[in-house]
Amino acid sequence: MRGLICGPKQAACGLVLSVWGVIMLSVLGIFFLLHSAVLIEDVPFSEEDTFQDTNPPQKLYDLYDKVGYNCIIAAAVYAFFGAFSCCQMRLNKQKDYLVH
């Protein structure tokens, strides 16, 4: 069968992991874009970013936004691989239908 790369179990596993990745990273990205204080430990900032800046919150908010956008981009990559896994599942079902 043309375009068939992975088997049915691997495609199903990829789909489940992709759905979970999209949900998790989307929620995480939204919370980073909302500047959640709980996620401060995951923002890559240094002392220069906070103590030597004339407008300290803005630099920190820009770092929050950067991490949030990275999470959203990663969620989009997971969505792409989820669509790929879904196509693989359909190709596997077609193969089974044609064989039987």
Q: Which domain holds residue 79?
A: 8-99
Confidence of residue 60 (pLDDT cuts 50, 70, 90): confident
Q: In total, how many domains does the chain have?
A: 1
Confidence of residue 1 (pLDDT cuts 50, 70, 90): low
CA distance 47 to 44: 10
Instruction: Report yes or no on 2 lying in a domain.
Output: no
For residue 5, count CB atoms less than 10 angstroms from its CB and return exposed for 0-12, middle for 13-18, buried for 19 or more. Answer: exposed
CA distance 5 to 52: 53
16, amino acid identity: V
Instruction: Report yes or no on 1 lying in a domain.
Output: no
Answer whether residue 36 shows pLDDT above 90: yes
Answer whether residue 21 shows pLDDT above 60: yes
Instruction: Report yes or no on 57 lying in a domain.
Output: yes
> Percent of the chain beyond pLDDT 90?
55
Residues 18/82, Cβ–Cβ less than 8 Å: yes
Instruction: Report yes or no on 77 lying in a domain.
Output: yes
State the pTM of this model. Answer: 0.83
Which pLDDT value is given to residue 22? 98
Which pLDDT value is given to residue 33? 96
CA distance 62 to 40: 13
Instruction: Report yes or no on 59 lying in a domain.
Output: yes
CA distance 20 to 9: 17
